[in-house]
Amino acid sequence: MDIAIIGASGYAGGDLIRLLLTHKEADIVCATSRKLAGTPVTKDHIHLKNLIDLEYSNPDIEKIDADFAFLAVPHTAAMQYAGKLKECGIKTVDFSADYRLPREIYEKTYGVKHSDYFKAPYGIPELHRKDVKNADFVANPGCFPTGATLAAAPVAKLAHTIIYDSKSGVSGAGDSISETTHFPNVAENILPYKITAHRHLPEMRQEAAFLESKANVYFTPHLLPAIRGIITTAHILFNEPMELEMIQKLYQDFYKNEHFVRLQPAKLGGVRGSNFCDINFELENDGTRLVAVSAIDNLVKGAAGQAVQNMNIMCGFDEAEGLRMPGMFP
């Protein structure tokens, strides 16, 4: 299947190429970058040298001859291309936030007018597999909402409050340099940011509602002195005391057929480079608070890997195709 990657020079686009190179059905025929058009993909993605022979091109959608596309461009840029890809009949997974939320909530959260809105399934396959399967355009979720939602999903319905406390590696901010991501500001530090009002909170609330949870949902992200990975500690508060056995059964049942969710200690070293989400939990002595911890690689289960998982579902391929790489430890 011929594949186009719009925004292939970024971190998420680069990781997508890495994964697709091992995919039996995928043949990357187009990789765009406006800044690097006309130069080899391996000029900046030097880790891919001898593995891909392709030059960057400009994102001229009308000229793209592909069966499937990934939009790995920033939010507000994706909406410039999404409709055209639809018109050309090219199935697409969008990495950006442009189609993850209802229009009004998107516009309020991102402070922009949406210029080409349509509804798309929210691509956490473990929750929305049926909708993804029938879609020709899927909104890949944010990295924080993926790890957070998976941590709480089996018990969200029972909670009155869920507090997500997440820590992310710096690659989550993309490849542009800013004061926040400057080495001396990140190293030997854990930096809380957008402490009560991060743009991913509406996605987390949307998914809690989908899970029939009436819980109040809160979120605080932190920047970690790491390159990849997100650890989310979910504090899940119940009205009634819960029994550990029941909680264990809820998690086991919810994830029993899910290859990419593993109930085991959540550590970055267990998931780095892989599409897995590891989850473990402990119940407070009095049974009223569950602390569930999840670990994902923000660029894989939080972006490119989940996008490939969605493509596999949309195209009827084995869901794990191109995603069989284990985590990198140590």
Ligand X SMILES: CC(=O)N[C@@H](CCC(=O)OP(=O)(O)O)C(=O)O
Ligand Y SMILES: NC(=O)C1=CN([C@@H]2O[C@H](COP(=O)(O)OP(=O)(O)OC[C@H]3O[C@@H](n4cnc5c(N)ncnc54)[C@H](OP(=O)(O)O)[C@@H]3O)[C@@H](O)[C@H]2O)C=CC1
Active-site annotation, residues: 143
Closer to ligand X at the Cβ: 148 or 158?
148
Per rule CB under 6 A, count of chain residues that contact ligand X? 8
Q: Which does 35 bind (CB under 5 to 8 A by kind): ligand X, ligand Y, none?
A: ligand Y
The Cα 298–Cα 273 span in angstroms is 9
Minimum CB separation of residue 196 from ligand Y in Å reads: 21
Q: Which residues contact 2 (CB under 8 A, 6 or more apart)?
A: 27, 29, 65, 66, 67, 68
Closest CA to 261 of 274, 251, 271, 276: 276
Closer to ligand X at the Cβ: 154 or 172?
172
Tell me which DSSP letter residue 122 carries. Answer: B
Contact between 194 and ligand Y by CB under 6 A: the answer reads no
Minimum CB separation of residue 75 from ligand Y in Å reads: 5
Radius of gyration of the chain (CA): 19
User: Footprint of ligand Y on residues 47-66 (CB under 6 A)?
Assistant: 59
Contact between 302 and ligand Y by CB under 6 A: the answer reads yes
What are the distances in angstroms from CA 147 to CA 108, 288, 290, 297, 303? 24, 22, 16, 9, 11
Closest CA to 122 of 131, 111, 109: 131
Q: Which token pair is 154? A: 């089996």
Q: Which of 47, 49, 103, 174 binds ligand Y (CB under 6 A)?
A: 174
For 192-231, b where at least 16 C-beta lie within 10 A, e where not — what string?
eeeeeebbbbbbbbbbbeebebebebebbbbbbebebbbb
Q: Which residues contact 240 (CB under 8 A, 6 or more apart)?
A: 287, 288
Could you give phi then psi for residue 35, rounded to 5 degrees? Answer: -70, -30
Q: Which does 13 bind (CB under 5 to 8 A by kind): ligand X, ligand Y, none?
A: ligand Y
Contact between 35 and ligand Y by CB under 6 A: the answer reads yes
Q: Which residues contact 100 (CB under 8 A, 6 or more apart)?
A: 106, 120, 122, 139, 141, 142, 203, 206
Contact between 97 and ligand X by CB under 6 A: the answer reads yes
Closer to ligand Y at the Cβ: 82 or 290?
82
User: Footprint of ligand Y on residues 269-298 (CB under 6 A)?
Assistant: 298
Minimum CB separation of residue 199 from ligand Y in Å reads: 10
Minimum CB separation of residue 165 from ligand X in Å reads: 14
Closer to ligand Y at the Cβ: 208 or 299?
299
Closer to ligand Y at the Cβ: 16 or 217?
16
Q: Which of 3, 18, 23, 33 binds ligand Y (CB under 6 A)?
A: 33
Contact between 132 and ligand X by CB under 6 A: the answer reads no
Residue nearest to ligand X (CB): 172
Which residues contact ligand X (rule: CB under 6 A)?
Answer: 97, 142-143, 168, 172-173, 221, 223
